[in-house]
Amino acid sequence: MYKLAIPREFVAQHYLVGGDWGPENQRHSHNYQVEVQVEGKVLDQHGYLVDIVELEARLEELVAYYRDQTLNDLPEFAGLNPSIEHFARILCQELISRLQAPLHALQVKVWEDDIAWAAYRQER
């Protein structure tokens, strides 16, 4: 299985709901770090798993959408606690829907600080 990954970094805000998490219940910023990893068994005629330029462009579209936003205010987080687990799933599902490459799976890993991350992996 071939794997390819690219990272991105951006700042967005959120506040946690549904529990008593102290300062996390107040609106605050995170310098999110996102790593997208694609997996596949087949390379294209150029020897690529996926066109990196296309992958970067699709990821950059998503990053631009979320940059400097408050996640709680976005429709995809309606009724959800904007945890990094939910964020990883939302990013993964949106990104995989935008890619045409014959991938086996796509995984998105989201860090909200130096020690905490969550990942979501979707197979095709």
Residue pLDDT, tens place only, 95-123: 999 998 889 999 999 999 989 999 999 99
Q: What is the CA radius of gyration of the chain?
A: 15
Q: Which domain holds residue 83?
A: 2-123
The domain tally of the chain equals: 1
Contacts of 95 (CB under 8 A, 6+ apart): 36, 58, 59, 62, 106, 108
CATH at residue 79: 3.30.479.10
Predicted TM-score (pTM) of the model is: 0.94
